[in-house]
Amino acid sequence: MSSQVRQNYDAQSEAGVNRLVNQFLHASYNYLSLGFYFTRDDVALSKFSSFFRHLSEEKHEQAEKLLTFQNRRGGRVVLQDVKKPERDEWTNGAAAMDAALQLEKNLNQALLDLHKVATSHTDPHVSLAGGVMSPFLSVPTNQLHKTGLKMGILFCVCVLQAWGPLTIQTSLILVNGESQSTYPTPVD
């Protein structure tokens, strides 16, 4: 039986929304796995755990919003198997953050692909440009930025740990008659 509220909703857009739901659930599942990995007694990084568990909840909520959207458009929700996270163990926080960044890039690309399909079928509701879907694009883009910043900070911390204790030299060096500050140097 077809929906009474369905109007100008192309089957490709409908299938794209269902695929996107699956990708958001996959991301949520990955973040949940990461969140609980970092609460293990042999890892115990509570801030990482909080960060990833928050992302898991966020992605799950977005999947539910897409499911609601699908019903309101008269589409049919077709849930698919959610793929297991590729890894259960992580060597360090940087590797986990790198995986998170890749998940966000994949979500962002999936949204752009759905936008392309919706635009080709002139469906303004699925379109990201001012349509109901537009808030979804800003979330992965913002998350990409936040994750990238956190990875940068984490990288700096890892480099500083590898260097060992630092001496901060505050003296100035004259180069061609101009003063320049020196950079921190490792202690031998």
* pLDDT one-digit tens code per residue, 91-130: 888 888 888 888 988 998 998 898 888 888 887 776 655 5
Q: What is the DSSP string of 83-127?
A: PPPS-S--S-HHHHHHHHHHHHHHHHHHHHHHHHHHHHTT-TTT-
| C-alpha to C-alpha distances, 144 to 5, 53, 74, 110, 111, nearest whole angstrom | 36, 16, 32, 14, 14
Annotated binding site: 104
Mean pLDDT of the chain: 77
Q: Does some domain include residue 3?
A: no
Q: What is d(CA 32, CA 36) in angstroms, rounded to the nearest whole number? A: 6
Q: Which residue ranges make up the annotated binding site for Fe cation?
A: 104
Please say if the pLDDT value at position 169 is more than 50. Answer: no
Asked if the structure places residue 123 within a domain, the reply is yes
Q: Would you say residue 2 lies in a domain?
A: no
Q: Is residue 5 part of a domain?
A: no
170: pLDDT strictly greater than 60: no
- Give percent of the chain above pLDDT 70: 65
| Residue 88 falls inside a structural domain | yes
Confidence band (pLDDT; 50, 70, 90) for 134? low
Per-residue confidence (pLDDT) for residue 187, from 0 to 100: 46
Task: State the pLDDT at residue 57.
Answer: 95
In this structure, how many other beta carbons lie within 10 angstroms of the beta carbon of residue 80?
12
Residue 101 CB: number of other CB atoms within 10 A? 17
Residue 1 lies in a domain: no
145 confidence band (pLDDT: 50, 70, 90): low
Q: How confident is the model at residue 30 (pLDDT cuts 50, 70, 90)?
A: very high
- Model pTM score: 0.72
pLDDT tens-digit map of 64-100: 999 998 988 889 999 999 999 999 898 888 888 888 8
Q: What is the CATH number of the domain that holds 60?
A: 1.20.1260.10
- pLDDT of 74 reads 87
The whole domain housing 127 covers 11-186
- Look at residue 142 in the predicted model and tell me its pLDDT: 64
Beta-bridge partner residues of 186: 166
Question: What's the number of domains the chain is made of?
Answer: 1
* C-alpha 35: how far from chain center: 14
Examine residue 164 and state whether it is found in any structural domain, yes or no: yes
Residue 87 lies in a domain: yes
